[in-house]
Chains A and B, each alone.
Chain A
Amino acid sequence: MAHPIKLQIQFGGGAELLFDSIKSRTIELPAIDKYFPECQREKWTIKELLVWMKDNLLRERPELFLQGDSVRPGILVLVNDTDWELYDELSYELLEGDTIAFISTLHGG
Chain B
Amino acid sequence: MDVIQRLEQEIAELKDTLQMKEQELVEIKQKFLQINENSTENTKVRIGGLPKWAIERYSRQILLPDIGVQGQGRLMAARVLIVGAGGLGCPASAYLAGAGVGEIGIIDYDEVDVTNIHRQILHRERDQNLSKAQSAANSLRSINSKIKITPYSIDINPSNGLEIAKNYDLILDCTDNVPTRYMLNDISVLTGIPLISGSALKMEGQLTIYGYRGKGGDEKEQTHIGPCYRCIFPRPPPPETVGSCSAQGVAGPIPGVIGVLQALEAIKLLVGHPHTQLLVQRMLLFDGGDSTFRTVKLRPRSPACEICSDEPTITKLLDYEVVCQSQAKEKDLDLHILQSENRISAKELAKSLNAKERHLLVDVRSEAEFNMCNIDGAVNYPLEKLREKQFEELMEKIRSCTSYVTFVCRRGNDSQLAAERVLDALVGPDRSRVRDLTGGLHAWARHVDIDFPVY
Known interface pairs A14-B202, A85-B299, A105-B199; A76-B244 also in contact (CB < 8 Å): no
- Contact at B238–A86, with CB atoms within 8 Å? no
- Contact at A81–B176, with CB atoms within 8 Å? no
Complex: chain B residue closest to A72, CB-CB:
B238
- Contact at A73–B236, with CB atoms within 8 Å? yes
- Contact at A109–B174, with CB atoms within 8 Å? yes
B window 230-270: CB within 8 A of A: 232-238, 240-245, 248, 250, 255
B382 at the interface (CB under 8 A from A): no
Instruction: List, in ascending order, chain B residues with CB within 8 A of A74's CB.
Output: 233, 235-238, 241-242
Instruction: List, in ascending order, chain A residues with CB within 8 A of B388's CB.
Output: 60
- Contact at A107–B296, with CB atoms within 8 Å? no
- Contact at A76–B232, with CB atoms within 8 Å? yes
CB distance from B255 to the nearest CB of A (A): 6
Complex: chain A residue closest to B254, CB-CB:
A108
Bound-state Cα–Cα, A72 to B240, Å: 12
Instruction: List, in ascending order, chain A residues with CB within 8 A of B204's CB.
Output: 12-14, 106
Of B80-88, B272-280, B306-314, B403-411, the stretch lying at the interface with chain A is B80-88
- Contact at A14–B243, with CB atoms within 8 Å? yes
Q: Interface size class for chain A?
A: 20 to 34
- Contact at A108–B233, with CB atoms within 8 Å? no
- Contact at B245–A64, with CB atoms within 8 Å? no
- Contact at B200–A108, with CB atoms within 8 Å? yes
- Contact at B238–A106, with CB atoms within 8 Å? no
Instruction: List, in ascending order, chain B residues with CB within 8 A of A78's CB.
Output: 296
Q: Most chain-B CB neighbours within 10 Å: which of A72, A81, A82, A108? A: A108
Instruction: Give B contacts to A, CB under 8 Å.
Output: 84, 86-89, 173-178, 181, 198-202, 204-206, 232-238, 240-245, 248, 250, 255, 283, 285, 287, 289-290, 294-299, 387-388
Task: Sample 20 A-B pairs with CB under 8 A, ordered by A number.
Answer: A12-B287, A13-B204, A13-B206, A14-B243, A23-B290, A60-B387, A63-B238, A73-B235, A83-B298, A83-B299, A103-B285, A103-B296, A104-B237, A107-B176, A107-B201, A108-B87, A108-B200, A108-B243, A108-B248, A109-B86
- Given A82-B296, A106-B204, A109-B84, 14 new contacts (CB under 8 A): A64-B240, A73-B235, A73-B237, A74-B233, A74-B235, A74-B237, A81-B297, A85-B299, A107-B244, A108-B255, A109-B87, A109-B89, A109-B173, A109-B176
Interchain residue pairs A-B with the least CB separation, the first 5: A74-B237, A73-B235, A108-B201, A85-B299, A106-B199
